[in-house]
Structure 1
């Protein structure tokens, strides 16, 4: 299973939120490059990055930080504010390997189809960000009314192979992932699924791996020391 340690950026700072609530934002590290190098030192090959400024208002302000992390040699997966084909081209120029389409996948599915056709399915992921089983958009503040499994099926039909499922209710809580919803999603589609939200221990990661998940994002649990990233990478197996 691929481990995706996370760096969330706001105004160039490494921050964390609780359940996606911007009122809870707090800084957890000074320098994203230092954090990324620590990930690499633990054996990680990937880093999951979110431009929170872009996610909330569609304006990406953290290009310099993203480029600097790309230059560490980690393979960067980036979401937040990616709403046009040009946005994808722009972040790939920074060195990003995989672009994550979030809100725009709900409002503009044609963008998803074109992105997959243009860049290939390995380089495009879609974020399935759900609260109470319904997909949320605009930095998780708007309920789309679309059931998460139905949304995932629509994305698969457009050629998407990578889905990142975030259970907003567990994000940042360290209370454990939404195992039941993840299992239901696995049963609904044949995509590679990365679990996000709620990871609070190495045992959570073992359970996700045993369930056959493609990947798992580790955010708050890394910064609090609740997860031993080096151990998780060793237990996860090849990280290519």
Structure 2
């Protein structure tokens, strides 16, 4: 499959927002209708949507479930793939979302605290349904909505989750996320080279050149948020550049 540009639809308090480095209260974008926003990306060429319940990520309890279900109901008949994260803390949480029509669930804090959940979900739903999200700050894995740092680095952790059955790694470089200053390709490239499963990159994409760098580094795709929402480039422009 060709390199995927995956628009982010991050939800907080029922709105679609973009935070600076995941910090609550730093909203640079706040839109009232996340479902309409998601469907707009689909209309403009997105093949995959990245839906994040930020309330769930910060508080451990998903609060935007009805909006997410609405997006699934409207996007799935159009052939759109949907990956969901934020507040998925248990097997049952993930099962609920996958049974509702999500193609993939993103496990971050839950995977780090209970790695067995990755194996269990992979065995039940197939490895392609399981994304392990590794968010790194200063070279260390961040947890619980990026509010805590572990003592582990992303490459070793990624290998462990690959062995447990993860189908994808979602790697977010918090050091560049939301700053609109471009990607730092090295940590992403190091992670891509350390595993044999697809790596989706996130954090720092500011120009279409960043997408080309990630593609050429071997990434499966890139989650793009702030750059699209602040018109650094359009989704149509990005799709066109990657076809050349």
What does 1:1-240 correspond to in 2, within 5 Å?
1-73=3-75, 74-236=80-242
Shift of 1:59: 0.5
Higher relative contact order (CA 8 A, sep 6+): 1
Matched-pair contact (CA < 8 Å) for 2:208–2:241: no
Residue aligned with 1:72, SS: helix
**How far apart are the structure 2 equivalents of 1:92 and 1:186?**
26
**How far apart are the structure 1 equivalents of 2:242 and 2:121?**
30
**How far apart are the structure 1 equivalents of 2:235 and 2:190?**
27
Matched-pair contact (CA < 8 Å) for 1:135–1:144: yes
Shift of 1:29: 1.5
TM norm structure 1 = 0.95
Instruction: Indicate the larger mover: 91-100 or 153-162.
Output: 91-100
TM norm structure 2 = 0.93
Matched-pair contact (CA < 8 Å) for 2:107–2:133: yes
Matched-pair contact (CA < 8 Å) for 1:177–1:195: no
Aligned residues: 237
Segments of structure 1 that go 5 or more residues without pairing to the other structure are none
Matched-pair contact (CA < 8 Å) for 2:140–2:152: yes
**How far apart are the structure 1 equivalents of 2:41 and 2:159?**
33
**CA distance 1:212–1:155, shift in 2 (3 Å):** same
Matched-pair contact (CA < 8 Å) for 1:63–1:94: no
Shift of 1:94: 3.0
Shift of 1:236: 3.9
**How far apart are the structure 2 equivalents of 1:165 and 1:142?**
17
Shift of 1:24: 1.1
**How far apart are the structure 2 equivalents of 1:144 and 1:108?**
14
Of Structure 1 and Structure 2, the greater strand share is in: 1
Q: CA RMSD in A?
A: 1.3
Instruction: Indicate the larger mover: 68-77 or 218-227.
Output: 68-77
Matched-pair contact (CA < 8 Å) for 1:5–1:46: yes
